[in-house]
Chain A
Amino acid sequence: AQKVTQAQTEISVVEKEDVTLDCVYETRDTTYYLFWYKQPPSGELVFLIRRNSFDEQNEISGRYSWNFQKSTSSFNFTITASQVVDSAVYFCALQTGANNLFFGTGTRLTVIP
């Protein structure tokens, strides 16, 4: 069975602070993809990043960075120098074998000006 756990329900930070969102996943498949999506108040899920199970190279894209560790089944997401526009719900998701996604419960990030 596939499972994604986002233990942090809500996080509040002051603008310009760094924040890390945690994601732990479970799957018995050897080939899978991990995703982060952002959901602003408008409701649309915005794709941020995708990582496949064979690529543990960590990535930095502007203020965003991702840390993928198969040994701990974790795929964490860090926002550096947070901004008010980063306020949203962030979802980690797992994809195995087909196109459907298994989502975590989301982490609501509030950036206080």
Chain B
Amino acid sequence: GAVVSQHPSRVICKSGTSVKIECRSLDFQATTMFWYRQFPKQSLMLMATSNEGSKATYEQGVEKDKFLINHASLTLSTLTVTSAHPEDSSFYICSARISSESYNEQFFGPGTRLTVL
């Protein structure tokens, strides 16, 4: 299957700083990428849907000014957690979609573990 990478795989930062997470589709072009968040022992929760060249669509309860998403190219989307706080500590997972005439496939990145001290 297609490969989606994330960088960094883990990051530790101080409260109040901003952290950028990159999501890349390595061998395909993705017009749509998704960002999920997963707290310990819980399932993945969709945060936002990112379409190349347009503004992201955020799920209810997700602050768009805190979680900045940029999808500048067909292979790269970035999530910036601004002014991070300990409650933002979580596992962030991106996903990229391939579209064909018959079906849409979606591939997931390995995740980025964010710890805010």
A and B together in one complex: no
